[in-house]
């Protein structure tokens, strides 16, 4: 873990536990098929930690952090000895009423800071360094909305694991020892129909989410005819053990374009946990009783990555970076 000295030195690259922030950029790129493109990307990834320092040191209270996630295909292009057990492309889902598409992406950069300008500056230099070795396929600038609300008006992130539960839920452990400390990352860019949502009475919205809107209190819906988002996203095994993930969703939007969104990002020790959440949301539990949040929220992307630890990332890219 990166320790508790975030106010004294920049935050190490690949710190999954970096603090939640006021601003974030989610950047998804594909890497050119040429060997020179791969070498350039490897070189830039090798220097990622230095770039966080270069930009982040200019205002430590800005708490700049960056996590790079690597998709399955790109992972295999690096001359790696192995691959995280569960790493595979995002599996598209055809649901009862709504689908989750699988979209391209070799690399994710999850850039967070208290300051929009630090995120911007970091992304600017990063893309400058990557040059024409990559193509940007998606770029979203998110912002913290009041008390961590999504644009539907609900507080988002409350049930996140804390303390020792955080690494236990978000970081790979001894079950895949070569990749311990890394994390599976799944992203989906959702756009909301805020007009339809505004016409939905607040008590119905609360049933859909599973929490009250103003004061964020969890609603017990064990006996409700239809499960809420919160309950569909709760994963338990046969022994009643709960499997959490670490989320850092961010709102984004352009009111002038009628664009209102939530960028979903989940970090997990086990990819199957996020996949199971998605299955329950889209297929439903029981099948057909899908997550009604999807009647108002449409995913436009869906990509899976693995975020290695800093040393793991260095080792992965070194053979290809021309050093």
- Catalytic residues, by residue number, are 156
User: CA-CA-CA-CA torsion for 170, 271, 320, 102, nearest 10 degrees?
Assistant: -130
Q: Which stretches of the chain are DSSP H helices? A: 35-46, 48-56, 72-77, 116-130, 165-170, 194-198, 202-209, 229-232, 271-282, 310-318
The CA R_g of the chain, rounded to the nearest whole Å, is: 19
Asked if residues 143 and 151 have their Cβ atoms less than 8 Å apart, the reply is no
132 closest CA partner among 265, 246, 30, 271: 30
Q: Does 98 bind ligand HEM (CB under 6 A)?
A: no
Choose which of 24, 28, 51, 245 interacts with ligand HEM (CB under 6 A).
245
The smaller minimum CB distance to ligand HEM, of residues 42 and 100, is found at 100
- Considering only residues 188 through 227, tell me which ones interact with ligand HEM, judged by CB under 6 A: 188, 190, 209, 211
Residue window 246-285: x/- pattern of binding to ligand HEM, with contact defined by CB under 6 A: -x--------------x-x-x-------x--xx-------
The smaller minimum CB distance to ligand HEM, of residues 48 and 245, is found at 245
The smaller minimum CB distance to ligand HEM, of residues 77 and 211, is found at 211
Q: Tell me the C-alpha distance between 229 and 218, whole Å.
A: 11
Q: Does 156 bind ligand HEM (CB under 6 A)?
A: yes
Q: Does 140 bind ligand HEM (CB under 6 A)?
A: no
Q: Can you give the binding site for ligand HEM, defined by CB under 6 A?
A: 150, 152, 154, 156-159, 188, 190, 209, 211, 229-230, 233-234, 245, 247, 262, 264, 266, 274, 277-278, 293, 297
């Amino acid at each position: 873990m990166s320790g508790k000295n975030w106010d004294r030195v920049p935050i190490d690259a690949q710190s999954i536990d970096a603090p939640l922030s006021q601003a974030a950029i989610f950047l998804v790129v594909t890497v050119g098929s040429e060997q020179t493109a791969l070498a350039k990307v490897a070189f830039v990834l090798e220097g990622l930690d230095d770039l966080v320092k270069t930009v982040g040191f200019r205002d430590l209270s800005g708490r700049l952090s960056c996590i790079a996630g690597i998709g399955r295909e790109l992972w295999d292009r690096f001359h790696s000895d192995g691959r995280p057990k569960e790493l595979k492309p995002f599996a598209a889902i055809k649901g009862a009423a709504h689908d989750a598409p699988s979209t391209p992406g070799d690399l994710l950069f999850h850039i967070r800071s208290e300051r929009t300008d630090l995120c911007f500056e970091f992304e600017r230099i990063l893309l400058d360094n990557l040059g024409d070795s990559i193509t940007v396929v998606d770029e979203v600038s998110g912002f913290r909305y009041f008390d961590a609300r999504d644009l539907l008006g609900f507080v988002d992130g409350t049930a996140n694991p804390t303390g020792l539960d955080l690494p236990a839920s978000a970081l790979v452990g001894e079950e895949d020892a070569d990749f311990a400390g890394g994390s599976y990352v799944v992203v989906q860019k959702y756009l909301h129909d805020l007009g339809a949502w505004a016409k939905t009475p607040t008590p119905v919205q609360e049933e859909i989410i599973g929490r009250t809107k103003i004061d964020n209190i969890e609603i017990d819906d064990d006996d409700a005819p239809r499960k809420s988002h919160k309950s569909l996203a709760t994963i338990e095994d046969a022994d009643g053990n709960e499997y959490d993930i670490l989320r850092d969703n961010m709102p984004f939007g352009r009111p002038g374009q009628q664009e209102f969104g939530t960028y979903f990002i989940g970090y997990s020790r086990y990819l199957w946990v996020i996949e199971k959440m998605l299955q329950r949301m889209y297929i439903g539990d029981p099948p057909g009783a899908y997550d009604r949040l999807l009647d108002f929220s449409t995913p436009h992307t869906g990509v899976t990555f693995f975020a290695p630890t800093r040393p793991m990332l260095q080792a992965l890219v070194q053979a290809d970076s021309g050093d």
